[in-house]
Amino acid sequence: MYENLKTQPLIYLVTFFLLIVVMVPMGCTAEDPDEPDQVMVLLDWTPNTNHSGLYAAIEQGYYLEEGLMVEIIEAPGSVVHMVATGQAHFGVSFQEEVTYALLSNMPVVSIAAILQHNTSGFASLKEKGIETPADFEGKSYGGWGSPVEEATIKSLMKPYGADFEQVDIITTGEIDSLIVIEREADFAWIYYGWTGIEAELKGMDLNFIELRHIDPALDYYTPVLISGKNLIQENPELIERFMRATGKGYKLAIDNPEEAARNLLAHAPELDKELVMASQEWLADKYQANAEIWGLQQKETWEAYSRWLFEFELIEEMPDMEDAFTNEFLR
């Protein structure tokens, strides 16, 4: 999720209405064999370059080639809950959320990693002198109030012998993170592919501590595409068609980021064009990275982060990671 994008209340009303009027029962196909099957995809946040492959697949006609009419909307509620209960075919989520869903017996499965590596980390103005997690001591952090944030900061500080109790935690909610580090706190958690690029374009000089470079366990999948276990059992052929087209969309984003950026802007013209173009270029080699194919997920990645969550008592038991994800629909 890109934390500096805002969702307006009106959008929630409109998207909730869309869910009611255009949704077909999950697992069902169109009654007319000549008509494309209606498919609903829920976004985790407002449209951004994490989602470019989805929009490219629409604009390039890849979904229609597979006999699918895909509607992408911003989720009016919990993505995992709506996908698990059959209110949507697919959704954009992240590894932590899927892990919690698994432990709550919610029938969702991650079917693709949108990015191979976690590109998030802690950002601060260079003038604050925060170059390593040891420098968090005596500083203030502005975030959205999640226990995972505090655990992450604590885990990064521990190897340096720094005192987490000396960090002032401020709940800033969904305020733009660049505003947070300018006005509210000394450092904040950002996704570099969007907020970091935005800072570059604005000429802001940042220090950035990338999570995966400090602790390999924090190189988890964020974001991921999810679907419901019931849909996988009842209509795997629909998922295969959706994923063939989606994979082509992300392949376009990898090979031709400028075209993918235009496809995204066609559906979200309110976004800053310069930011979208620059973010798309930066992410182009991050979607697949060192994986054999786009979307591939490794059990080791799922297990490492779950152990980390368990170690910091954010989950009460280790889930069976075999149930968390599948690579069977990747091509």
Report the SS3 class of residue 168: strand
CB 132 within 8 Å of CB 209: yes
Segment 130-170, tens digit of pLDDT: 999 999 999 999 998 889 999 999 999 999 999 999 999 99
Correct CATH for 120-218 of 3.40.190.10, 3.60.10.10, 3.30.1370.140, 3.40.50.1110: 3.40.190.10
pLDDT at 3 exceeding the cut of 70: no
Q: What is the pLDDT of residue 13?
A: 35
Using a cut of 0.85, tell me whether the model's pTM lies above it.
Answer: yes
Assign domain 9-117+221-323 to a CATH class.
Answer: alpha beta
Tell me the pLDDT band of 2, cut-offs 50, 70 and 90. very low
Tell me the pLDDT band of 123, cut-offs 50, 70 and 90. very high
Least confident of 40-44, 170-174, 303-307: 170-174
**Mean pLDDT, rounded, for 81-104:** 96
Q: What is the pLDDT of residue 255?
A: 98
**Mean pLDDT, rounded, for 298-312:** 96
Least confident of 113-122, 263-272, 315-324: 315-324
Q: What is the pLDDT of residue 75?
A: 87
Q: Is the peptide bond before 33 cis (omega within 30 degrees of 0)?
A: no
Report the SS3 class of residue 117: coil
**Mean pLDDT, rounded, for 31-50:** 89
**Mean pLDDT, rounded, for 14-25:** 41
Tell me the pLDDT band of 20, cut-offs 50, 70 and 90. very low
Residue 73: its H or E element:
strand 68-74
Q: Are 9-117+221-323 and 120-218 equal in CATH topology?
A: yes
pLDDT at 22 exceeding the cut of 80: no
Burial 246-274 (b: 16+ CB within 10 A, else e): bbbbbbbbbeebebbbbbbbeebeebeee
pLDDT at 5 exceeding the cut of 50: no
Tell me the pLDDT band of 261, cut-offs 50, 70 and 90. very high
Q: What is the pLDDT of residue 33?
A: 67
pLDDT at 105 exceeding the cut of 90: yes
Whole-number Å distance between alpha carbons of 36 and 276: 30
| Domain locations along the chain | 9-117+221-323, 120-218
**Of 245 and 76, more confident:** 245
Least confident of 6-15, 95-104, 240-249: 6-15
CB 169 within 8 Å of CB 150: yes
Whole-number Å distance between alpha carbons of 224 and 83: 13
Burial status of residue 89 (CB atoms within 10 A of its CB: 0-12, 13-18, 19 or more): buried
Q: What is the pLDDT of residue 31?
A: 55
Burial status of residue 31 (CB atoms within 10 A of its CB: 0-12, 13-18, 19 or more): exposed
pLDDT at 4 exceeding the cut of 90: no
